[in-house]
Structure 1
Amino acid sequence: MPNLTDLSTIRDLCARYDFALSKGFGQNFIINPGICPRIAEASGIGPGWGALEIGPGIGVLTEQLCQRADRVVAVEVDKRLPALLAETMAGYENFKLVLGDVLKVDLRTLIAEEFGDRPVAVCANLPYYITSPILMRLLEEKLPIRSITVMVQKEAAQRLCAAPGTREAGAISYAVAYYATARQLFTVQPGSFYPAPRVTSAVIRLDVHTTPPVAPANGDEAGLFRLIRAAFSQRRKTAANAVANGLGLPKNQVIAALEAAGMDPRLRPEQLTLQDYCAFQASLPVAAIDNQPPTC
């Protein structure tokens, strides 16, 4: 098998397949040979498992997954890569490439057809420009996956793994915490890539909850997250002001709801926990939240 972290091998492959890195797809080659084995190991994928990869590139992480999992399915949007991957993954009969946009592919059907009853984990080096949409699709659709281990930009990793109720948390931190337990595993320096990006990267793992840790009012998940997005749309304001502005509600109504839920209306959005937002939601009239468009 070719050494896919060797720069001369990478250049040879690219030359033979007339492949050039695309900034539009957020592509960089991993040239540090220790990174992908470490990511694959951190995913916990092993014999009996199915691995879903997003954006395999030339296959540097893919081969590590193929060495561990029963079956590996990679979704790739770049139409230039199938021929190249056919060469680099030729030695792995447990590998399948699906050409398509991961935000449009029917992932539930794909997982059912390709993995059957196997436990499934996602493991990938995500394109940084669409990290959040990909992760939220994986989580919100409640797909039959056990965990998600991905490399993302360090700043994104910090937001995704921030605990609700802390200064670092943002709206997406609450969404991730609702669906999974998140932790940052290790950082990856720019020199591990070619060309070297301007940012430091980090690997995170999300262990998906079988049951969410809190219960939204009336089971209305969409309403809960609409409320949280409204709060964080103006995070420098108090939660009362931000929600009143974001949802177009009378401020006195929002203050009354916070006080009824046992909270100080002067608190800022990041000072409320996930449970606090559920209590806040329960104290607001259902129509006050459900009739409003998302704020972001």
Structure 2
Amino acid sequence: MCGLGSTPVTTRLLGPADVRALAASLGVRPTKQLGQNFVHDANTVRRIARLAEVGSGDTVLEVGPGLGSLTLALLETGASVVAVEIDPVLAAALPGTLQDRVDDGSPAFRVVGADALRVTGADLPERPVSLVANLPYNVAVPVLLTLLERLPSLQRGLVMVQAEVAERLAARAGEPAYGVPSAKAAWYADVRRAGAVPRQVFWPVPQVESGLVQFTVREAPVTSASREQVFACIDAAFAQRRKTLRAALAGWAGSPVEAERALRAAGVDPQARGETLDVTQFAAVAAARG
């Protein structure tokens, strides 16, 4: 990579014919195992880059860049991109594709051949401030939560996920979609929906609808409990979400009596259900258990 992104550059984005031709030249057949659905619409990738609010001087982390459609749109803003790609064929081909399609010199880009679920800050050549990615739908939630945990330099991001997952990540306490992903994501960030993405902009066309999720990192709730303790409480509460918290947290707390004690100490009704508690309340319950 030649330096940091500094000013917007001119790129030639990938269209449907380009995506298919690139895949054919590499012998790549999109696989469900890796969650590969390649975006081929210029308006969509530019929209994602715009909504992500990235630009000159920003270092962006992209997970699963694939053939480079979104990568080119990010480079177009003047940002530098660090891409994590698990497919060795795609990882090897991506620098050449970008070099060919960026008209203003060498692209501000590096690729790391790795599994995003195993990446740490030490594996990256720069500290990213933003995550912008078309996340593989089969691992979208664990990838997002893992990166938020391991990369404290992240300040914000915009990810494309399955529409149902987007709804769950952005749900607030008391809403039907609220659950484990919602509560855990809220530990790290303010998460909100940022629009829908039609199936027709992908190749191959997925069987599910897609949605955009935007997040802004904030301080974790103030609590004497660790993140692991809070997350264990969340997991227990939603493992039996139809039960009252007194019953659902019995195994976690040691008994129904101990669960009730912790709940009352945290100011939570033992007859409430997990779907009514926000992450701050879960943190209070975890701290009260001791």
TM-score by length of 1: 0.87
Q: Quote the residue 1:227 is aligned against.
A: 233
Which letter does structure 2 place at the counterpart of 1:4?
L
| Distance in 2 of aligned mates of 1:70 and 1:191 | 27
| Distance in 2 of aligned mates of 1:235 and 1:13 | 46
Matched, 1:193 2:193: no
Distance 1:18 1:167, change over 3 A: closer
Q: Quote the residue 1:63 is aligned against.
A: 72
1:32-47 correspondence runs (5 A): 32-47=41-56
Q: Quote the residue 1:114 is aligned against.
A: 126
Q: 2:147 aligns with which of 138, 144, 150?
A: 138
Which letter does structure 1 place at the counterpart of 2:122?
T
Distance 1:89 1:280, change over 3 A: same
Matched, 1:271 2:276: yes
Matched, 1:258 2:258: no
Secondary structure of 1:69's counterpart equals: coil
Q: Quote the residue 1:4 is aligned against.
A: 14
Distance 1:192 1:93, change over 3 A: closer
Q: Quote the residue 1:101 is aligned against.
A: 115
Runs (4+) of structure 1 moved beyond 6 Å? none
Which letter does structure 1 place at the counterpart of 2:49?
A
Which letter does structure 2 place at the counterpart of 1:234?
Q
Q: Say whether the 8 Å CA contact 2:225–2:287 is kept in structure 1.
A: no
| Distance in 2 of aligned mates of 1:221 and 1:12 | 46
Secondary structure of 1:81's counterpart equals: helix
| Distance in 2 of aligned mates of 1:94 and 1:232 | 43
Give the deviation of 1:82 after TM superposition.
3.4
Give the deviation of 1:18 after TM superposition.
1.7
Listed as ranges, the gaps of 5+ residues in structure 1 are: 287-296
| Distance in 2 of aligned mates of 1:241 and 1:18 | 54
| Distance in 2 of aligned mates of 1:139 and 1:3 | 29
| Distance in 2 of aligned mates of 1:225 and 1:3 | 41
| Distance in 2 of aligned mates of 1:172 and 1:261 | 22
1:69-88 correspondence runs (5 A): 69-88=78-97
Q: Say whether the 8 Å CA contact 1:17–1:83 is kept in structure 2.
A: no
| Distance in 1 of aligned mates of 2:79 and 2:49 | 14
Equivalent pairs: percent with the same residue? 36
Give the deviation of 1:274 after TM superposition.
2.3
Q: 2:288 aligns with which of 269, 283, 288?
A: 283
Which letter does structure 2 place at the counterpart of 1:199?
V
| C-alpha distance after superposition, 1:207-231 (max 9, x if no partner) | 111x22x222x24221111111111
Distance 1:150 1:11, change over 3 A: same
Q: Say whether the 8 Å CA contact 2:13–2:72 is kept in structure 1.
A: no
| Distance in 1 of aligned mates of 2:86 and 2:93 | 14
Q: Quote the residue 1:31 is aligned against.
A: 40
| Distance in 1 of aligned mates of 2:198 and 2:134 | 14
1:9-24 correspondence runs (5 A): 9-24=18-33
Which letter does structure 2 place at the counterpart of 1:114?
E
Give the deviation of 1:71 after TM superposition.
1.6
| C-alpha distance after superposition, 1:40-76 (max 9, x if no partner) | 1111111111111111011000001111134211111
Question: Please, what is the CA RMSD of the aligned residues?
Answer: 1.9
| C-alpha distance after superposition, 1:118-166 (max 9, x if no partner) | x621111000011111111111225211112110001111111111343
1:48-59 correspondence runs (5 A): 48-59=57-68
Give the deviation of 1:172 after TM superposition.
1.9
Which letter does structure 1 place at the counterpart of 2:250?
A
| Distance in 1 of aligned mates of 2:45 and 2:217 | 22
Q: 2:158 aligns with which of 149, 160, 166?
A: 149
Listed as ranges, the gaps of 5+ residues in structure 2 are: 1-10
Give the deviation of 1:24 after TM superposition.
1.3
